[in-house]
Chain A
Amino acid sequence: MKKCSRCSKPSTLHITEIQEGVAQELHLCESCAKQYLAAPEPMTSESDEFAEKLSESVSEEESESYGQLVCPNCGITFKEFRSQGRLGCPHDYNAFAKELTPLLENIHGETQHVGKCPKRAPEASQKQYELIKLRGRLRAAIDEEDYEMAARIRDEINELEDEVHSSGDDD
């Protein structure tokens, strides 16, 4: 039986750790294994790994100028995106197009989709994005207890939703 790689008692747990594509074997005894497993959870998803890489790679200066870039629909700044790794709404791909393109090239090596397309073309996408903005304004109006404004926005949302539905559905 192999010895524990941390304290040289007999090992009971064998772990293969993969980092940058290289496997490393780890043999641990019961008590060292407990410690090892109690350590903070490893990264949980591709997106989290991506978020970490992103936030590491920004300079102060860049970060300042990214703070000015805001999506008009959901209100997320490019700086917030860099720190969380998650975008705020589908429109961000337009709002941050210039900044996102090099990133996409870096991740995927390409920037043009060639796969499946929805059969129903999302022709009303501008209206869809408008809905995101209106919902944000509705929330703000309610927060400020401006119920008259909230009612007007609610009407606008309903109207727009009707338009989107009638243009998208044939049934």
Chain B
Amino acid sequence: MDLDSLTTTSGEWLRGNGPESDIVISSRIRLARNLAQFPFPNRADDAARTEIESLLKDQLFDLAVGTRLSYVDVRTLNDLDRQFLVERQLISREHAESHGSRGVGISSEENLSLMINEEDHLRIQVLHSGFALDDCWKQIDQVDDAIEERVTYAFNDELGYLTACPTNVGTGIRVSVMLHLPALVLTKEIQKVFQALHKISLAVRGLYGEGSQAMGDFYQISNQVTLGKSESQIIAELKDVVPNIINYERRVRDALIQENRQGLHDQVSRAYGILKNAQTITSEETMHLLSSLRMGINLGLIDDLEIPTVNELFIHTQPAHLQKIRQESLESSERNIARAGYLRLRLTDDDDDRE
């Protein structure tokens, strides 16, 4: 697969056409699977890791799941390309930073990725735009079945699918929904959401699903329990909870508009102004301002910009993407200048004659 060609495209999941996509960016399901006859990747030596990779890679190529997969040998990639795949949400940070034989199979629409030799031998991931957990499950279940016809998974009747970390044992499933919650953050109502989710053992994380740091008002909500509940029960829990958060965010947005339309309009317009005119801008400030802008478009306060463009800008202004687009390696301060330039180009395409 030619990674450079990805710099001009964006994954299907960023198109912003899925259900509830004003607030739900994407839905994701991943399954952790291991082969019964090998040690887990952290305990496998080079020879075993290579054997695992070639065995699983062979299965990927003749998966009859209605999509073409390209295989990327992550071991041979340079740091920038690895980081690029992380920003693209096609591999995890852990997979990028690991060592030894490993790779990823990626579908051309970027909905499906299969990581080999991550924490587990195989991590299958399906990603869709908007609130579409059933679509994710249908697809991933099919892929899992197709692979399982060809290999022997580590599984027992009592504990289900056996995984390197006991936090994943059982179904091996992680169901996640990425939400954009600027109004709840602005009004600090978000804390109530966190507390409620914590009580029912759902986890909340930042944009890339890791760390405690959340930027640009994006939050990923996912299940923590994987044993003692079926896949459909786990999915149903998220399907119950997420609409409540969506409605909460919408109610607060409505209230904000009614109480202080002018203030909100001002905030959104200023964000747009900075993004269109800045000469140097950090990735963090960009995230923050794009978040305002995204809310402004959804509330009809800005009408000359589309959501998919903003979704794409979140990804394309990340460090590795910027460097791939510019085809050169850039220091942090150079990236800030390149980022501002890219934003000006993308946001002022058609209105050069405005001033």
Contact = CB atoms under 8 A, between A and B. Distances in A.
- Do they bind each other? yes
Interface of A: 12-23, 25, 30, 33, 37, 41-47, 50-51, 73-74, 76, 84-90, 93, 100, 103-104, 107-120, 122, 124-125, 128-129, 131-132, 135-136, 139, 161, 164, 168
Q: State which size class the interface on B falls in.
A: 35 or more
B331 to A, nearest CB: 13
14 contacts: A21-B198, A30-B282, A37-B284, A45-B210, A46-B165, A47-B119, A50-B166, A86-B43, A86-B119, A104-B159, A104-B169, A116-B171, A116-B231, A122-B155
B167 A46 contact: yes
B37 A131 contact: yes
B282 to A, nearest CB: 7
A93 B212 contact: no
Interface in B162-184: 162, 164-171, 173-174
A125 B194 CA distance: 42
Contacts of B93: 44-45
Interface in B143-197: 144-145, 148-149, 152-162, 164-171, 173-174, 185, 188, 190-191, 194-195, 197
B164 to A, nearest CB: 5
B185 A16 contact: yes
A42 B211 CA distance: 5
Contacts of A87: 40, 43, 164-166
Contact of B230 (A103, A114, A139): A114
Contact of B38 (A23, A100, A132): A132
B204 interface: yes
Interface of B: 34, 36-40, 42-43, 45, 47-48, 92-94, 119, 141, 144-145, 148-149, 152-162, 164-171, 173-174, 185, 188, 190-191, 194-195, 197-199, 203-206, 210-215, 217, 224-231, 282, 284-285, 288
Top 10 A-B residue pairs of the complex, sorted by shortest distance between their CB atoms: A110-B228, A113-B160, A21-B198, A42-B211, A90-B154, A128-B36, A108-B227, A88-B43, A47-B165, A115-B171
A78 B219 CA distance: 35
Contact of A114 (B94, B185, B228): B228
Contacts of B204: 18, 21
A47 B168 CA distance: 8
A46 B32 CA distance: 13
B119 A45 contact: yes
